[in-house]
């Protein structure tokens, strides 16, 4: 299973500010009544983007200037709460290819990596600088260099690090672990046989 | 060398080191439900793979089941479709399914322990962040995403980086009217909603030594609300007494051998931890959240935070955002805030001991006019036992609706939802914006008895006063 080597993501960016943005906010639970992930993109951040009548509320993702952005910026502890993979799936299906935040909740980070979405952590002041730059010029080309651990935009560079195990998996095209896990099956069977409670 | 339980369980389940440095970890027990598993089975089919060890995966249905409709087809066709998908996937793969017809259905984190499937020294994974609940038994239990469910189905393993371990000692004795729920809300308040990132929490100290298994489960359940992916309590006699005689517990000679093995997994005296935190039990009060994350909690006797008094800009903006959503007044007492809905249930507090405690105090009282109060047992077995003990009748007499087992109003994937900006006193685990089903609905997290106090007074109240709790 040859996977894409994700060494960098280049595109336009949009900032959804705030700390502790949870996965219920990213994709409200009622949209998880489905047996596939298809179509989740349109419900990304639904309840803060739409009012009860379905009309747009002021939200960065409703701002036409940021349409087509592929890099999502946010605050600390992004993706906290529920383990629902529907959240990164919705982010990916909406069109995002990378997330940059001050910090990430653990399960969300792992779920993103497994889908090939780099989650890069950057300092608050640096994210603010980048957010100001894209506010001034929404068409600004932004590059998250996963391998180098930095973001480049408009002649500037800020540190933005993907944690080592995830970075390694992304840049070497090993972000979906299934191939490697399957290769280990004989060893798995051997360990299971030695593990008392796993006897059939 | 002295080792922690986490290290021992990790070592016993590590298959090998993967190229990126993560561990291929054997997952002894895999629990699935209808929301996060269907796509995983789809991925398996796309890859032409089969379930590697079907006897080590157990299924139940909890999130989408209506608690007021027992007979299929469910009124919501999407819920019915998810139900059927799970049933089909289990049948095709030979996976045991605790459905409603089995009499053993319930919230996955209540069913596992109840059946004796959750055991010390094991690894457990489930596509649900509250899988940390199972750590109460000295298991290492992870909430996972759907792609990882695929991995576990296909290989009975997943790729994971090792966690650090933070020991949290809760020392001394809890004051009357203070419950396990208050302990975990207090811990999250002190350590923060992301304080546990990168850690497994090991809970211990006198309070945990005395806690029942159900109390330990309540605390471990909300580890994820503190950012910790796993939380556990070392197994002891309380653990073994709970497990003895359960359907999946070892029997006869195998039982004695199992207990011996389980004891060996407990953290060794003098083992080292990456961090140690000590909390005085006497400092913990009945706790209520006022904001939009579980770390935004205060003692029932405290006032709602005032952003003007915040010391940092960040803190100020988070208080402002929370109060704007919650429509609460800064500096006002939380006590006396009018509520619309009272919900007792969920994987945090939907167990027998929760309903027993509520019934003991609610007997002869009435839910305040205008308050909708629902009590939802966490499993069919909890429901049946409550019904045997007459707890359901006590609650019904008081004006609660007594429902069938499920996740219910914790997360609004079923008909139990808040309407508009209703304010709900809730024994569940998350107070996120919109969590309980209305994009403007408001949640105050608290212990079941505090929910009962709110139900009978119609306001956020101090259960110690309402029910004269002093022992």
- Mean pLDDT for A71-85 is 97
SS3 at position B81: helix
B318 at interface of A, judged by CB pairs closer than 8 A? yes
Residues 343-372 of chain B with CB under 8 A from chain A are none
Residues of B within 8 A of A29 (CB-CB) are 63, 411-413, 435, 437
Among B159, B227, B294, B441, the residue to mutate for chain A (most A Cβ within 10 A): B159
Strand B275-280 and strand A8-11: pairing? unpaired
Picking from B220, B263, B255, B256, the residue whose alpha carbon sits closest to that of residue B238 is B263
Domains of chain B: 5-265 (3.30.499.10), 287-466 (3.30.499.10)
- Mean pLDDT for A22-31 is 96
B23 at interface of A, judged by CB pairs closer than 8 A? no
B253 at interface of A, judged by CB pairs closer than 8 A? no
* Dist CA B184 CA B219 (whole Å): 5
**Chain centroid to CA B48:** 35
Q: Which two tokens stand for residue A70?
A: 């592929």
Residues of B within 8 A of A86 (CB-CB) are 146
Taking an 8 Å cut-off on Cβ atoms, the answer to whether B197 and A25 are in contact is: no
Query: Which of B47, B64, B194 lies closest to A105 in CB terms?
Result: B194
* Dist CA A17 CA A10 (whole Å): 21
CA-nearest residue of chain A to B435?
Answer: A24
* Dist CA B31 CA B133 (whole Å): 12
Query: Which of B18, B64, B198 lies closest to A106 in CB terms?
Result: B198
Measured between CA atoms, how close is B364 to chain A, in angstroms? 37
Residues of A within 8 A of B227 (CB-CB) are 77, 80, 105-106
Measured CA angle at B330 (ends B327, B333), to 5 deg: 95
Percent residues over pLDDT 90 in chain B: 99
- Report the pLDDT value the prediction gives residue B471, as an integer from 0 to 100: 59
B69 at interface of A, judged by CB pairs closer than 8 A? no
Would you list the domain boundaries of chain A?
8-175
* Dist CA B470 CA B462 (whole Å): 12
DSSP classification of residue B170: E
- Mean pLDDT for B435-443 is 97
CATH code 3.20.19.10 for A8-175 = yes
CA-nearest residue of chain B to A80?
Answer: B227
How confident is the model over B140-150, as pLDDT tens digits? Answer: 999 999 999 99
Cβ atoms of residues A13 and A180 within 8 Å: no
- Report the pLDDT value the prediction gives residue B400, as an integer from 0 to 100: 98
How confident is the model over B323-370, as pLDDT tens digits? Answer: 999 999 999 999 999 999 999 999 999 999 999 999 999 999 999 999
- Mean pLDDT for B412-440 is 97
- Mean pLDDT for B97-102 is 98
Mean per-residue pLDDT over chain B, rounded: 97
Query: Which of A76, A107, A172 lies closest to B143 in CB terms?
Result: A107
Taking an 8 Å cut-off on Cβ atoms, the answer to whether B79 and A80 are in contact is: no
CA-nearest residue of chain A to B154?
Answer: A182
Tell me the pTM.
Answer: 0.97
Backbone angles phi, psi at B379, to 5 degrees: -155, 165
- Mean pLDDT for B290-304 is 98
How confident is the model over B170-180, as pLDDT tens digits? Answer: 999 999 999 99
CA-nearest residue of chain B to A110?
Answer: B145
Residues of A within 8 A of B440 (CB-CB) are 52
- Report the pLDDT value the prediction gives residue A2, as an integer from 0 to 100: 81
Binning pLDDT at 50, 70 and 90, where does residue A29 land?
A: very high
How confident is the model over B204-232, as pLDDT tens digits? Answer: 999 999 999 999 999 999 999 999 999 99
Binning pLDDT at 50, 70 and 90, where does residue A200 land?
A: low
- Mean pLDDT for B115-133 is 98
Measured between CA atoms, how close is B338 to chain A, in angstroms? 24
**Chain centroid to CA A68:** 16
Indicate whether A87 pLDDT > 90: yes
Indicate whether B124 pLDDT > 80: yes
Indicate whether A1 pLDDT > 80: no
Q: How far is CA A93 from CA A89, A98, B2, B172, B335, in A?
A: 6, 12, 47, 51, 44
Residues of B within 8 A of A85 (CB-CB) are 36, 39, 127, 145-147
Residues of A within 8 A of B76 (CB-CB) are 33
């Amino acid at each position: 299973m040859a996977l894409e080597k994700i060494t960098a993501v280049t595109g336009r960016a949009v900032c959804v500010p705030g700390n502790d943005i949870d996965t219920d906010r990213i994709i409200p639970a009622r949209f998880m009544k489905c047996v596939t992930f298809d179509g989740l993109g349109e419900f990304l951040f639904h309840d803060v983007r739409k009012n009860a009548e379905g009309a747009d509320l002021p939200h960065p993702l409703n701002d036409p200037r940021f349409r087509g952005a592929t890099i999502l910026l946010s605050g600390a502890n992004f993706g906290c709460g529920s383990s629902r993979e529907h959240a990164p799936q919705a982010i990916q299906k909406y069109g995002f290819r990378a997330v940059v935040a001050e910090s990430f909740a653990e399960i969300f980070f792992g779920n993103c990596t497994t889908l090939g979405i780099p989650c890069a952590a950057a300092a608050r002041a640096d994210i603010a600088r980048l957010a100001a730059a894209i506010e001034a010029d929404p068409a600004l080309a932004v590059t998250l260099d996963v391998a180098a651990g930095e973001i480049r935009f408009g002649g500037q560079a800020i540190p933005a690090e993907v944690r080592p195990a995830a970075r390694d998996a992304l840049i070497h095209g090993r972000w979906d672990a299934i191939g490697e896990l399957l290769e280990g099956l004989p060893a798995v069977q051997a360990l299971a046989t030695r593990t008392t409670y796993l006897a059939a | 060398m002295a080792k922690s339980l986490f290290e021992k369980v990790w070592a016993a389940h590590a298959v090998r080191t993967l190229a990126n440095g993560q561990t291929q970890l054997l997952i002894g027990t895999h629990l699935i439900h209808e929301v996060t598993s269907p796509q995983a089975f789809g991925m398996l089919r796309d890859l032409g793979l089969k379930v590697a060890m079907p006897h080590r995966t157990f299924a139940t249905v909890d999130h989408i089941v209506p608690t007021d409709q027992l007979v299929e087809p469910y009124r919501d066709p999407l819920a019915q479709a998810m139900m059927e998908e799970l049933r089909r996937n289990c049948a095709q793969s030979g996976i045991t399914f605790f459905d409603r017809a089995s009499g053993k259905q319930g919230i996955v984190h209540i069913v596992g322990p109840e059946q004796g499937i959750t055991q010390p020294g094991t690894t457990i994974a489930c596509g649900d962040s509250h899988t940390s609940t199972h750590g109460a038994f000295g298991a290492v239990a992870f909430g996972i995403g759907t792609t990882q469910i695929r991995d576990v189905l296909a290989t009975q393993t997943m790729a994971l980086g090792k966690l650090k371990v933070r020991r949290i000692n809760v020392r001394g004795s809890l004051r009357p009217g203070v419950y396990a729920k208050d302990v975990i809300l207090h811990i999250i308040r002190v350590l923060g909603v992301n304080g546990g990132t990168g850690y497994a929490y090991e809970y211990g100290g006198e309070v945990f030594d005395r806690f029942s298994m159900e109390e330990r489960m309540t605390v471990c359940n909300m580890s994820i609300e503190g950012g910790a992916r796993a939380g556990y309590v070392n197994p002891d006699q309380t653990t073994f007494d709970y497990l003895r005689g359960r359907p999946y517990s070892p029997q006869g000679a195998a039982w004695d051998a199992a207990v011996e093995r389980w004891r060996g997994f407990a953290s060794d005296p003098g083992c080292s931890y990456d961090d140690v935190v000590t909390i005085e039990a006497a400092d913990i009060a009945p706790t209520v959240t006022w904001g939009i994350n579980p770390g935004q909690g205060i003692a029932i006797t405290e006032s709602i935070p005032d952003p003007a008094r915040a010391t940092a800009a960040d803190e100020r903006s988070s208080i402002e955002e929370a109060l704007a959503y919650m429509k609460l007044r800064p500096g006002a007492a939380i006590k006396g805030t009018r509520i619309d809905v009272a919900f007792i249930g969920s994987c945090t507090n939907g167990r027998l001991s929760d309903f027993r405690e509520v019934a003991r105090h609610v007997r002869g009282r009435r839910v305040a006019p205008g308050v909708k109060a629902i009590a939802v047992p966490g499993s069919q077995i909890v429901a049946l036992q409550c019904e045997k003990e007459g707890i359901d009748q006590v609650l019904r007499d008081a004006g609660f609706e007594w429902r069938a087992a499920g996740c219910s109003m914790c997360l609004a994937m079923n008909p139990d939802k808040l309407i508009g900006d209703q304010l709900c006193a809730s024994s569940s685990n998350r107070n996120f914006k919109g969590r309980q089903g209305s994009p403007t609905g408001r949640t105050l997290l608290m212990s079941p008895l505090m929910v009962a106090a709110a139900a009978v007074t119609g306001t956020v109240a101090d259960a110690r006063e309402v029910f004269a709790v002093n022992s």
